[in-house]
Amino acid sequence: MSVATTIWDGLKNAVLMAYAVWWALVFGFTISAIVQAWVPRHAVERAMGGGGAGALARATGLGAASSSCSYAAIAIAKSLFQKGASGVSALAFQFASTNLVWELGLVLWTLIGWQFAVGEFVGGIIMIVLMAAIYRLFVSPGLEARARRHAQEADTGHQHHSAQSAGITWRRRVRSVDAWSDVAHNFRGDVQMLYKEIGLGFLLAGFIGLLGNGFFHALFLESAPTPIRVVENVLIGPVIAVASFVCSVGNVPLAAVLWSGGLSFAGVMSFIFADLIVLPILLVYRKYYGGRFAVRITALMYITMVLAGLLVAGLFQVLGLVPEVRPTRADLFGQVQLDYKLALNVLAVIVFVAFFVLTLRRGATDPVCGMTVDRGKALVAERDGVTFHFCSEACHQTFLAGGGHVGHGAGHGHSGAATAIDPVCEMTVDPAVAVSADVDGQTYYFCAEYCRDLFVRHPGAFGAAGRHHADPGERSPGSR
C-alpha cells in the first residue's frame, strides 16, 4: 500500500509541477518556432562562417534565436562546423542555444524566481567568453582539423529546416496561413524532440521531491565554511546533471528540487548550465568528432560551467541578488485553482492544439527521416502511384537512390545488409547512397566528398575499412 501511495504522490507532484509551467513552455516554444520558421537557414550558415569576434557574436545571437533542444543544438552546430564555422563558434552556438532562449528563462522564472532566469542569461554569456578565451588550451588547430573530418552531412533527425515563407515580409507572414504552418511544424518538431526529456525531468523532480531535506543535507556539505561549501556544490552540480540524463528545459524541475533541498545558488546554476554534457550527448560528441576531440571539449565545457556558476554567484552576492528564501515542496508542486495561471494554461492549450491541428491538416511524414513536413512546400516523389513528401533534398535523394525504400524513420539509413566503413572517419555508410572511389582496383565508400578526396590523395594513410560489406557477387556501383 505504501509503495502505491509513493507512486501516486510522485506522479501527482510531476503533474502539478508540469501544470505550473505549461503556459511558459508553450509560449516559449511558440517564440522559438517563429524565429526558426521565419529566419532562413542559409543566413545562419553564412553568418557563422569563419572565426573571430564577429563570428562568435553572430553565433551567440543565432543560437539564442534557435531551438532550446540540446540535441538540436549539437546537431546544428555539427553541421555548421562541417561547413566552415570555427570550433569556438560552433560551441558558442551550443551554449547560446541552451542557455539564452526564451522557454528556459520563462520556466526558470516561473518555478524558482527571476534571479535564476537572469543568472542563466548572464552565465550563458560568461561561459561563451570563457570558452573562447581558453579554447586553444584544450583543442589544437590540428585536432580541430581532424574533428572536422569526422563531421558528416547526414541529417541527424534533430535539425530543423528553414521554411520557404522566410522570403516574405513580417506583416504578410502574420496574416499568412502558409507562414503559420511553417511555425506550427517547427513547434511540433521541438515538442517531439523534447517531450521525453521534459517528461523525465518532471518525473524525477516529482519523486525526488518526496525525499526529505535530510537526504540533500547528507549529499552536500553543510558544516564546512561557506567558500568550501560553495566550491563543493558548484563542482557536484554538473556531475548530478550528467548522471540524471536530463537536458534542456527538462533539467529545470530537478534544479528547483535541488534548490529547495539545500544546494547553493552557485551549485544550482552550474547544474543548469551542464545540459550539454549529459551522458547521451557525450556519446553523440564521440560519434560526430572522434574520441579525443569529444574528451577535450567535454573537459572544456565542464570547467567553463563550474567557473560560470562561481562567477554568477559571486556577482549576485555582491549585488545582493542571491535569493534567501527557498521554496517549500508545497510551493514547487502547488495546486490547481482559479487564478491567472489557470487562464494562461487554458490559452496555452488552445495554442498547442491549434498548431498540431495545422500540422495534421497540412502535414505529411518524410519516409526517410520521419519528420512531419508541409505537403504544400515539401519535395515530392511518386512510387507505385503513391506520393511521398520530403523535408530536404538529402532525404529526397536518399529515397530515390534507394529505389523508393521507405520506413527508415529512426535509423536514417537503409535496412539492407550492404554496409561499408568510411576508411577516413570510420563511420558506417550505405553503399547505395554513399560517395565512392576506386583505388587500386578496390571500391571504397565515404560519408562525404571531403573524406573521399582526402583518401584519394593519401590512400596509404588509411586502412581498407571502407570495402563493401555486401554479397561477394554484387556489382560495384563504381565511382560517383
Q: What DSSP character marks residue 467? A: B
CB 435, CB 449: distance < 8 Å: yes
CB 249, CB 107: distance < 8 Å: yes
DSSP assignment of 21-80, as one string?
Answer: HHHHHHHHHHHHHHHHHHS-HHHHHHHH-B-HHHHHHHHHHHHHTS---HHHHHHHHHHH
3 state DSSP class of 323: coil
pTM metric for this prediction: 0.62
Give residue 134's pLDDT.
96
CB 362, CB 350: distance < 8 Å: no
- The helix-helix angle for 291-319 and 141-150 (nearest 10°) equals 110
In a domain, 407, yes or no: no
CA distance 266 to 246: 19
Give residue 355's pLDDT.
92
- Specify the pairing of strand 420-421 against strand 386-390: unpaired
In a domain, 46, yes or no: yes
* Cell numbers found for residue 443: 571500391
In a domain, 410, yes or no: no
Looking at this protein, which amino acid is placed at residue 361?
R
Across-strand partners of 365?
A: 372
For the chain, how are helix, strand and coil distributed in percent, rounded to 5? 65, 5, 30
Question: Which residue has 552565465 as its cell numbers?
Answer: 123
In a domain, 464, yes or no: no
Contacts by 463-468, CB closer than 8 A, 24 or more apart: 463/423, 464/423, 465/421, 465/422, 465/423, 465/426, 466/420, 466/421, 466/422, 466/423, 466/424, 467/420, 467/421, 467/442, 467/443, 468/418, 468/420, 468/431, 468/443
* Cell numbers found for residue 123: 552565465
DSSP assignment of 408-452, as one string?
Answer: -TTS-S--SS--EE-TTT--EE-TTTSEEEEETTEEEEESSHHHH
Question: Which residue has 524532440 as its cell numbers?
Answer: 193
In a domain, 427, yes or no: no
DSSP assignment of 118-169, as one string?
Answer: HHHHHHHHHHHHHHHHHHHHH--HHHHHHHHHH---S--SS-----GGGGS-
Give residue 43's pLDDT.
60
Q: Which domain holds residue 286?
A: 2-350
In a domain, 384, yes or no: no
In a domain, 405, yes or no: no
Number of Cβ within a 10 Å radius of residue 242 = 19
Looking at this protein, which amino acid is placed at residue 273?
F
Burial of 218 (0-12, 13-18, 19+ CB in 10 A): exposed
* Cell numbers found for residue 335: 495546486
In a domain, 428, yes or no: no
Give residue 68's pLDDT.
63
Per-residue pLDDT of the chain (480 residues; tens, 9 = 90+): 588 888 998 899 889 888 887 887 788 778 767 866 776 656 655 666 556 788 888 888 888 877 666 766 787 787 678 777 789 998 999 999 888 887 788 888 988 899 999 999 999 999 999 999 999 999 999 899 889 877 644 334 444 444 445 556 767 878 888 888 888 888 887 787 668 877 887 888 788 888 876 777 677 766 777 788 889 889 988 888 887 766 677 788 888 888 988 889 999 999 999 989 987 788 778 877 888 999 999 999 999 999 999 999 999 999 999 998 888 888 778 788 888 889 989 999 999 999 998 888 777 777 776 667 777 677 888 877 788 888 766 677 777 776 554 443 333 333 334 577 877 766 667 776 677 888 877 888 886 665 676 677 667 656 544 444 433 333 333 344
Overall number of domains in the chain: 1
CA distance 353 to 56: 38
CA distance 417 to 16: 48
CA distance 53 to 194: 32
